[in-house]
């Protein structure tokens, strides 16, 4: 599976992993976005991590460095922010897509 580029206008199916149960999940998405520790989960499942977003306070320094190295795009927020990590991820996705239109 090819990694997505944020500049592509044809994103249609974006999976956002923000934590929770690792039960069954689908992999027929165009892009995979990880939110904080969800980014590590995407990598552990060997899925292409197009975007990692969050303050990454729920991972170790080594895990954050791995996420930063292996994600196509990495956005780290300050821990003292107004939005939640998930809100920041959704805002980042919409900003990148809408900017192209």
- Tell me the pLDDT tens digit for each residue of 71-99: 999 999 988 888 899 999 999 988 875 56
Residue ranges per structural domain of the chain: 30-98
Whole-structure pTM value: 0.83
pLDDT tens digits, residue range 13-65? 889 999 877 788 888 888 899 999 999 999 999 999 999 999 999 999 999 99
DSSP codes of every residue in 20-89: S---------SEEEEETHHHHHHHHTT----EEEE--TTS-HHHHHHHHHHSSEEEE--SS-SS-HHHHH
Residue 4 confidence (pLDDT) above 70: no
């Amino acid at each position: 599976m090819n990694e997505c580029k944020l500049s592509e206008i044809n994103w249609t199916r974006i999976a956002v992993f923000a934590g929770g149960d690792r039960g069954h999940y689908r992999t027929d998405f165009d892009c995979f976005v990880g939110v904080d520790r969800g980014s590590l989960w995407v990598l552990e499942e060997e899925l292409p991590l197009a975007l990692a977003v969050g303050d990454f306070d729920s991972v170790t320094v080594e895990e954050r460095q791995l996420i930063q190295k292996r994600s196509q795009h990495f956005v780290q927020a300050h821990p003292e922010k107004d939005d939640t990590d998930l809100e920041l991820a959704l805002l980042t996705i919409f900003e990148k897509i809408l900017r192209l239109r």
